[in-house]
Structures are given as C-alpha cells and as structure tokens.
C-alpha cells in the first residue's frame, strides 16, 4: 500500500495525518497555520517529499443529513491546486464530524491537536472504506 497523507482542510488550520506503508498504523502528524493557499500548499509539498507520500486524501464535510457543506467547493479548489503542485493523486473522502469526534473523544486537546486527530480519523475511515474493514 502507498504512504498516504490525509488533509483536514480549514481556513485557519490544516491537519495532516499519515499511515505506514501497510495502511495499518495511522498518526496525526502536523497542523499547519493557513495564511494563504500558496504557503500551505508549499508546506504540504515539502511534507510529502520528506515523508515519501504517494497519495493524498482530503476530507469533504457533509451535514448529518448527507448534504455537502458550503465549504466543499472551497476544499475542492484547494485540492486541485495541491494536486497540481504535488503531482499526486488526490482522493476525496467524506469527513462528517471528524473534528467533533476528535474533540469529544479527547476533550483535553488543543485546537492544533484536534486538527491532527481529525485528519487521523479521516484517514482511518478512508483506509477502512477502501479495504472493506469496519472503521
């Protein structure tokens, strides 16, 4: 399996999480402060090079009723820019309530830790989805 990074996009912060080459160990790795798309993308490009990342998963939020968040088009714009700069394939994956889940499972986390944890939850769910395992 490829080394994958999950991106939990936010206008203020972007959480990153990775998995090992077997797709079994997932860890929240970094939280980037997003000052501009260009700067955030440059940081993610460098992260992908340093970590030998081969694919990217980006979360698309939906309401509990399944309706895409108004932020979804903005995330897709960012994802297109990121794909262009990294040359990596980007998979979208539904990420409803990952930040809420991270906060409620571990209420002592800082905002930055919540973003990393939300990315890890996103990646774990994505890996379970593609492997057919329960999440």
pLDDT of residue 31: 96
Contact indicator for 131, 96 with CB cutoff of 8 Å: no
Q: Which residue has the tokens 């297109």?
A: 80
Q: Which two tokens stand for residue 81?
A: 């820019």
Nearest to 17 by CA among 8, 27, 2: 27
pLDDT of residue 24: 87
CA atoms of 98 and 122, how far apart (whole Å): 7
Q: Collect the ranges in the chain with pLDDT lower than 70.
A: 1, 134-135
What number does CATH give the domain 1-67+111-135?
3.30.420.430
Domain chopping of the chain, boundaries? 1-67+111-135
DSSP conformation class of 97: T
pTM comes to 0.90
């Amino acid at each position: 399996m490829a080394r994958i990074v999950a991106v939990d996009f936010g206008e203020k912060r972007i959480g990153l999480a990775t998995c090992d080459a077997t797709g079994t160990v997932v860890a929240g790795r970094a939280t980037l402060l997003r000052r501009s798309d260009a700067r955030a993308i440059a940081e993610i490009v460098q992260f992908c090079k340093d970590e030998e990342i081969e694919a990217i998963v980006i979360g698309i939020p939906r309401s509990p009723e399944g309706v895409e968040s108004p932020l979804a088009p903005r995330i897709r714009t960012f994802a297109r820019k990121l794909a262009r700069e990294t040359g990596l394939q980007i998979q979208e994956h539904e990420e409803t309530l990952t930040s809420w889940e991270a906060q409620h499972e571990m209420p002592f986390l800082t905002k930055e830790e919540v973003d990393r944890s939300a990315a890890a939850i996103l990646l774990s769910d994505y890996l379970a989805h593609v492997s057919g395992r329960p999440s």
